[in-house]
Amino acid sequence: MGKLRYGTSISLDGFVAGINQSVENPLGERGELLHGWLRELAVWRRDAGLEGGVTNASTELYEQSGVSTGAIIMGRKMFGGNGPWGDEPWRGWWGEDPPFHLPVIVLTHQPRDPIVMAGGTSFTFVTTGLQAALDMAREAAQGKDVAIYGGASVAKQYLAAGLLDELSVSLVPVFLGAGERLFDEPLNSAVKIEQTRVVEAPGVTHLRYRVIK
């Protein structure tokens, strides 16, 4: 059985997104600064249909994460939309061929039929909680890892529930001052972690931790 992993970029003052997040600006004010190191990578730009870019110590980490992932869990906030789905429900930010190319499990309070998209991406909507979503994702992953995508909310819940196996933090040397924090859940004070890797790269330091159970 694969691991449940979460990886994110984070500012020196502990934020994974800036203030005033919106449909037009999902990362909030100055939140794009957290991902500059990623968007300049040639492999990321290739996957996004762009040209150019650089190759550095971050490249191998990006490529490894894609190979080991068999399914994705995300929250409703990352998928997008608000409240009931309506007559013409939102189909995500990414058009008819999303970049995931994997089964995606969306945690939500609003029931909805699955969506099958181009390129191997499917969205299945789960309303019955963290464990049910994880069980479904692991079945879809067929022995590979399950990755949590998106902001802090879903990752904090899985960490507090003792279900997360691995946490990767890409520490970016910027201060956002305010926004969405990852490590502000009081229940996580009981979580024990062990550092397993440090990789320094231009504009970022990649830290990986194993959650001790």
Look up tokens 């997104």; give the residue. 17
The pLDDT assigned to 186 comes to 86
Inter-CA distances, 203 with 17, 28, 86, 103, 133, Å: 17, 20, 42, 32, 34
The pLDDT assigned to 161 comes to 92
What is the spatial order of strands in the sheet that 103-107 belongs to? 115-116, 122-126, 103-107, 69-75, 145-149, 4-11, 166-172, 204-212, 192-201
Using pLDDT thresholds of 50, 70 and 90, give the confidence band for residue 49.
Answer: confident
The rounded mean pLDDT for the chain is 92
Which residues make Cβ contacts (< 8 Å) with residue 136, sequence separation at least 6?
A: 105, 124, 126
Q: How many CB atoms lie within 10 A of CB 98?
A: 20
Domain 4-82+99-212 classified CATH 3.30.360.10? no
Tokens of 26: 């999902």
What is the secondary structure of 112-131 as a DSSP string? ---EE-GGG-EEEEE-S-HH
Using pLDDT thresholds of 50, 70 and 90, give the confidence band for residue 188.
Answer: confident
Average pLDDT over residues 95-112: 93
Asked whether the whole model's pTM tops 0.85, one would answer yes
